[in-house]
Amino acid sequence: MSILHLVDPIAVQSPAFELFGRTFEPGVHWYGLMYALAFLSAWLLGRSRIRAGRLPGVDEAGFGDLMFYGMLGVVLGGRVGYVLFYSFGDFLANPLMLAKVWEGGMSFHGGLLGVLLASWLWSRSRRLHFLDTMDFVAPLVPLGLGFGRIGNWIGGELWGKPTDVAWATVFRSALPQDIAWLDDAALRALHQTGQLEQYARHPSQLYQAFLEGVAMFALLWWFSSRPRPRYAVSGLFALLYGCFRFLVEFVREPDAHIGYLAFGWLTMGQVLSTPLILLGLYWLWRSRSAPTLQPAPPAAATPPANAR
């Protein structure tokens, strides 16, 4: 029998209130907590590497600036990317929808472009080679991707195609409207009698959490544990993510308003991942003749001569 998904996407519910004639129901969503865990993990991992001198000339304060730039890149780029890649028609009809972040909608590829731009601006201000910065950042990202996909699973969004595998999952949001409105008890009763099996789907969010999060982190952290030629770590990141995302798209349900773009199977996610695969291969090829940045731990602060 399949797994029935009835997880509340709100971790902490707050009392509703009215403002300007509208009712607001504030609360802390699990997805928001996943974002917090993503940034926290990146900060902890990055701080340990900064202390080991893996980005020479940059101390913890400088890394804090990089994190701030990166967070802006993730949020702004992710939102703009989603609107441009997946909802451009809605944007043309109502440009203000770009600001309606509470309605959901973030794109990894847009967030990646945002991080690239933010890291380039930060690197330029520090007079560092852009790819040295990206090689440093790449191993810090996968855990955050994994947390984000867990957030997608908790929210019951971005589910996979119908299947009968042992771990198939029934998501409320994927049910027909005449069933989805039922309360949890009624859905459990239907599920126990097998009446929801036809709606069971791949939990593709968890596949992505494992591949993009656990597997990518393990491989990249190991690969970058010692200095590698410039371009190599970034190239491996781009190649792994592009391949993993391309493969998972075969069992992930495409966006209903976009569907398949060609051949009866090509999705927008695969189209956007193909350049990453090519870029990863190119960067790995470039790394064969590139210099290797050697660690240089930040110099310890020297106490004043009159310090006691």
- At residue 244, the 3 state secondary structure works out as helix
Token pair listed for 224: 């970058």
- pLDDT tens string 218-273: 999 999 999 999 999 999 999 999 999 999 999 999 987 788 999 989 999 999 99
Minimum mean pLDDT among 15-19, 171-175, 240-244, 278-282: which range? 15-19
**Residue that has been written with the tokens 């043309």 in this structure:** 92
Which DSSP string corresponds to 15-74? --EEETTEEE--EEEHHHHHHHHHHHHHHHHHHHHHHTTSSTT--HHHHHHHHHHHHHHH
Token pair listed for 273: 């991942």
> Which pLDDT belongs to residue 258?
86
> Which pLDDT belongs to residue 300?
53
pLDDT-derived band at 86, boundaries 50, 70, 90: confident
3-state secondary structure 92-142: HHCHHHHHCHHHCCCCHHHHHHHHHHHHHHHHHHHCCCHHHHHHHHHHHCH
Residues 180, 149: Cα–Cα separation, whole Å = 23
Average pLDDT over residues 82-95: 76
> Which pLDDT belongs to residue 82?
79
- pLDDT tens string 154-183: 999 999 999 999 999 999 999 999 999 999
Residues 84, 79: Cα–Cα separation, whole Å = 9
> Which pLDDT belongs to residue 201?
97
Q: How far is residue 8 from each of residues 3, 65, 156, 173, 215, measured CA to CA in Å?
A: 15, 35, 9, 12, 27
Alpha helices for 224-267 (secondary structure H): 232-248
Residues 133, 196: Cα–Cα separation, whole Å = 49
Residue 194: which region, alpha, beta or left (left: phi > 0; alpha: psi -120 to 50)? left
Average pLDDT over residues 2-29: 80
Position 254, amino acid:
P
Q: Measure CA 245 to chain center.
A: 11
pLDDT-derived band at 198, boundaries 50, 70, 90: very high
pLDDT-derived band at 88, boundaries 50, 70, 90: confident
Percent of the chain with pLDDT over 70: 92
Query: Residue 121 CB: number of other CB atoms within 10 A?
Result: 14
> Which pLDDT belongs to residue 101?
60
Helices 216-223/142-154 angle, 10° precision: 170
**186 vs 106, more confident:** 186
Residue 308 has pLDDT above 80, yes or no: no
3-state helix, strand, coil split of the chain in percent (to 5) is 60, 10, 30
**52 vs 97, more confident:** 52
pLDDT-derived band at 102, boundaries 50, 70, 90: low
Residues 100, 277: Cα–Cα separation, whole Å = 32
Residue 301 has pLDDT above 80, yes or no: no
Name the nearest CA neighbour of 78 among 167, 164, 144, 1.
144
DSSP state of 14: -
pTM: 0.87
Q: Which residues of 32-59 are buried (b: 16+ CB within 10 A; e: fewer)?
A: ebbbebbbebbbebbeebbeebbbeebe
CA angle, residues 113, 95, 120, in degrees to nearest 5:
20
Residue 302 has pLDDT above 60, yes or no: no
